[in-house]
Structure 1
Amino acid sequence: MTTLENSVAILLWTITAWRAPKVWRQGKDRTLWWAFFGVSVTMTLRLPLGQDLDRSIGVVDLSFLLKHISGGVFGAAALLAFLRNVSGNNASGSWRARIRVALPITTATAMTALFAATSQPHEAEDLLTDYAQHGTILAYGIIFVAYLSTALFGAMRVCWRWGRDSGNGSLGWGLRLIGVGMASGVAYALHRIANLVTRYFGHTILGESLDHTTSTLFLVVAVMLILTGSTLPALTKIRSWSADRRNLLRLYPLWHRLTDAVPSVRLDPPRSRTVERLDPRNAHGRLYRRTIEIRDAALVLSDHAPAEIRAQAQSHVVASGLIGTQADTAVEACWLEVARRSRLRGEDPTNKHHRPAGGGRNLASEISALSQLSAAYHSDLTRSFAEATDPTRTLETQP
């Protein structure tokens, strides 16, 4: 079980660290970050590191108090506050809001007082188990578990209600997963309080070892489900970022060749494809800018593609057997390459009336249209047309 707890603790700290810059820079979702931070501390103190902390400070079993308060009291309160905020069910400024602030503080204060009033001659494997027959620890445990189960049950209700209203998207399913995690947390709390009461009278529910394993499983399942549910909406953003990055790289060759001929349309200096691939920042904004620059370059290059070139491109494509939209795209690719070569040779524009083919109605359809244009532009069909109409090659082949 220690290996699993280690993995969960590492994962929690990774998520907490990953969220920190955005949360503290933008000031959003701070309550959720505090919830992750509190649970991360709790899972860390469940490891042998907790006993090391007790020995270094010199207070026996202090790690138990810290982990119960950090995750079970303030972590649960922060998560419940986050869920109430996003569901629009947070009545700030009312007496209920003041109670929500006072209740975890009062709970933590009472637990600290009962902990200090308990004589603890040795380091415990489990505070609520080893000192179960002490009245102060019984009261400590009842207060702690009662608060935890109440908070988790309230959060579970918010999640299920809001998750049902949010539909079947990533947000809705994320909330449902958090709700299931809360249910596992409630089961953990109920098992703990039942175990606490039975141990006070000198008995166990499933046996000491099995009770500990069961309690740990409920806790780990709760943490993993809450973690998964809270990050599920972020997975949608990751998929969107991945698609934007993929399209950004796919359009790079077409963008680079066209804007080499019309560098004035570039907002920033060109970078190599390797640098583009390694830069993860603002993929959506860069992609949006790339589509604009491709169309702007095509608009300028259209002045270098007179009617006869366009007619020749049409005949060339029809002869290849293409029809419909594929043919239109291939025609545009053919005259674009001829126009690009013309501009790079320094020839003056010969046509001010034609314009490039229209793009998509939105960014998604524009990306699709430009991806098809890129594929056609780099095809043998376009290359053979450009070479056949290249006046420099014609001069070279004359005797």
Structure 2
Amino acid sequence: MSPDLPLALATTVWTTAAPPAAPAPTGIRAFGDALALPSVVCLWIAVLLRLPAAWRLPQQRGLLLAVATAAAAMTLNLPDVVTWAMRDPAHSHTVGLVRNLIGVLSAGAVLYFVAAATHGRRLRLAAGVTTVALLTTLLALDAAAPAHGTHTMPQQGDPVPSAAYWLVLIMAHLLANTTCVYVCWRYSRQSDSRALALGLRLFGLGTALAGLFWLAYLLKALTGSTWALPYLPLMMNLHGLLRAAAILVPTLFALRRTLADVTTAWQLWPLWRDLVQSVPHVALTRPRSSRLVELLWPPVPRNLLVYRKVIETRDAILVLGEHVAPDVPERARGHVADAGVPGPRREAAALACVLKEARRSRRDGLPRPESGQSAAPVSVGAQGGELEDEKRFLVAVAQAYASPTTDSFAPSEREQRP
């Protein structure tokens, strides 16, 4: 399953002319209409934020057309845009036809990219052929209909331009909706990625609302039922908001990871700087003038900054461990216990004390303990060895390293060593 599937699925935004008026709960209709502009704005923001990621991948560039047509379809359905576009009555037919064609193109694009994401070569070909056939059929039905203006399905009277035109349009969207709901549901349950699963579920919910929208139009076309029409603006605009949220899920997860890494790098920097100044050969780059400069202009790719800090800090701890006298770790543990450091943080605080002493010994040029008298290996991470565990442990060490408890640690043996 492609990790970019939420972006691929996000192209199925379908709109048409505003639903005809019907006796209805005016509050629900008004609320749905009020969401029209926010949903379009949110969708465009989401599209613009996701386009750079898709543009970098050649196989994803086709998504640009699909996403753009989806956002354009919703934009063309905004009441103010419709009013402006139809200021000349002669344009009403063109505006309605273009809006419908863009919707079908967007639906066809989502079918194609769903097939691509699920590695269905035949399905991709079928999606392309089906889209071309649907667009051709709509154009032919529009041309064959008597002279007409705006495409609409009035509450009373025959659909414009024809019932056949509307049935083809509705079935195209229902086909795409049904396929998307199935794919979203299936792969959200199978995915190990929280971001992908959440994106699929949000998108699937939005797709379900779009499906209900078109199902209501199908009922109107086949039976004349109008009871659901007041709810259609709310369904369509909520579906737009959910689609925008689905597109933004990868961006939001990436932003959360970036903020977590920035916070970790900021907290580790003072400890890392002191250690690599004592053991410079473990560092890939020299420390910058400040940690703010280090974060704004990192010397390594930003996504590797925290990883390098963890690795270099760990290596420096191992080297400095060779300068630790045999009884220093035990003295450090006693010191932090006497200082009242909470149990879960004592190991990190003890290591901070040991590192302070090791740096002093190396700085003062004191001889290393003899091999038979060296301290036990210094712990450099939490139990388990996972990178996330190491980061948390080293952040705790860095916090303890700057505390008064660590500054006050001075084992008596240091004064006695030659």
Of the candidates 228, 233, 254, which is equivalent to residue 245 of structure 2? 228
- SS of the equivalent of 1:240 reads helix
Of the candidates 399, 404, 408, which is equivalent to residue 380 of structure 1? 404
Of the candidates 210, 219, 225, which is equivalent to residue 185 of structure 1? 210
Rounded to whole Å, the distance in 2 between the matches of 1:352 and 1:27 is 60
- In structure 2, what residue type is equivalent to 1:358? V
Q: How does 1:53-64 map to 2 (within 5 A)?
A: 59-64=91-96
Which has the larger displacement, 272-281 or 61-70? 272-281
Q: Quick check: 1:261–1:340 contact (8 Å CA) kept in 2?
A: yes
Match of 1:78 in 2: 109
Rounded to whole Å, the distance in 2 between the matches of 1:276 and 1:118 is 67
Which consecutive unaligned segments of at least 5 residues does structure 2 have? 1-31
Relative to 1, partners in 2 of residues 1:308 and 1:282: Cα closer, same or farther, differing over 3 Å? Answer: same
TM-fit CA distance, 1:26: 2.2
Q: How does 1:1-399 map to 2 (within 5 A)?
A: 3-27=34-58, 29-30=60-61, 33-47=64-78, 48-50=80-82, 52=84, 59-70=91-102, 72-86=103-117, 88=118, 90-92=119-121, 94=122, 96-116=123-143, 124=150, 127-129=152-154, 133=158, 136-166=161-191, 169-196=194-221, 205-206=226-227, 211=229, 213-232=230-249, 235-271=252-288, 272-276=290-294, 278=296, 284-307=303-326, 310=329, 313=332, 316-317=335-336, 319-320=338-339, 326-344=345-363, 347=365, 350-351=368-369, 353=371, 354=374, 355-360=377-382, 361-386=385-410
1:5-64 C-alpha deviation (Å, 9 max, x unpaired): 2211111111111111111112355565544322211111112335545669x8444333
TM-fit CA distance, 1:309: 5.0
TM-fit CA distance, 1:251: 1.4
Identity across the alignment (%): 29
TM-fit CA distance, 1:366: 0.9
Rounded to whole Å, the distance in 2 between the matches of 1:290 and 1:84 is 42
More helix by share: 1
- In structure 2, what residue type is equivalent to 1:11? C
Q: Quick check: 2:113–2:124 contact (8 Å CA) kept in 1?
A: no
- SS of the equivalent of 1:49 reads helix
TM-fit CA distance, 1:81: 3.1
Q: Quick check: 1:83–1:159 contact (8 Å CA) kept in 2?
A: no
1:134-192 C-alpha deviation (Å, 9 max, x unpaired): 66343322221111112211222222233344489454444333333222212111222
Q: Quick check: 1:184–1:222 contact (8 Å CA) kept in 2?
A: yes
Rounded to whole Å, the distance in 1 between the matches of 2:334 and 2:341 is 11
Rounded to whole Å, the distance in 1 between the matches of 2:342 and 2:192 is 42
Which consecutive unaligned segments of at least 5 residues does structure 1 have? 392-399
- SS of the equivalent of 1:251 reads helix
- In structure 2, what residue type is equivalent to 1:62? T
Q: Quick check: 1:152–1:186 contact (8 Å CA) kept in 2?
A: yes
Rounded to whole Å, the distance in 2 between the matches of 1:290 and 1:359 is 13
Q: Quick check: 2:329–2:354 contact (8 Å CA) kept in 1?
A: yes
1:87-108 C-alpha deviation (Å, 9 max, x unpaired): x3x431x3x5433211111212
- In structure 2, what residue type is equivalent to 1:227? A
Relative to 1, partners in 2 of residues 1:165 and 1:382: Cα closer, same or farther, differing over 3 Å? Answer: closer
- In structure 1, what residue type is equivalent to 2:397? L
Relative to 1, partners in 2 of residues 1:243 and 1:255: Cα closer, same or farther, differing over 3 Å? Answer: same
TM-score of the superposition, structure 2-length normalised? 0.74
TM-fit CA distance, 1:265: 2.8
- In structure 1, what residue type is equivalent to 2:169? F
Relative to 1, partners in 2 of residues 1:350 and 1:52: Cα closer, same or farther, differing over 3 Å? Answer: same
| Number of aligned residues | 375
Match of 2:18 in 1: none
Rounded to whole Å, the distance in 2 between the matches of 1:54 and 1:269 is 64
- In structure 2, what residue type is equivalent to 1:372? A
Q: Quick check: 2:35–2:234 contact (8 Å CA) kept in 1?
A: no
TM-score of the superposition, structure 1-length normalised? 0.77
TM-fit CA distance, 1:365: 1.6
Match of 2:10 in 1: none
Rounded to whole Å, the distance in 1 between the matches of 2:152 and 2:285 is 62
Rounded to whole Å, the distance in 1 between the matches of 2:99 and 2:52 is 24
Relative to 1, partners in 2 of residues 1:336 and 1:169: Cα closer, same or farther, differing over 3 Å? Answer: closer
Greater RCO (Cα-Cα under 8 Å, separation 6 or more): 2
